[in-house]
Amino acid sequence: MNTPTQYQKVLSSIWGIISSYDADKKIPAFGFGAKINFPNLKTNGVCHSFPLNDNPTNPEIDGLNNLMNCYVNALKNM
């Protein structure tokens, strides 16, 4: 079993709080300061802010499990 990163621990801790303030429980989630290789994002260098789900027109993520999956996928594409 993989040990969660510090970011994953924080995301898990705050998900219940931030999702309670959103009616549809879908939260826009962004990464920052990375050189990424996402198919939907056209960038040639460090991206200072990018949607974790690789969808620039709809960065909302539904549920904590999907957020964690998007986070892990983003790490693989850096």
Domain boundaries, the chain: 6-14+27-76
How many Å apart are CA 33 and CA 51, to the nearest integer?
12
**pLDDT tens string 15-62:** 989 888 888 889 999 988 887 777 666 666 777 888 999 898 999 999
Q: What is the pTM of this model?
A: 0.80
Give 7-15 contacts, CB < 8 A, sequence gap 24+.
7/71, 8/68, 8/71, 11/64, 11/67, 11/68, 11/71, 12/64, 12/68, 15/64, 15/67
Residue 12 has pLDDT above 80, yes or no: yes
6, containing H or E segment = helix 6-19
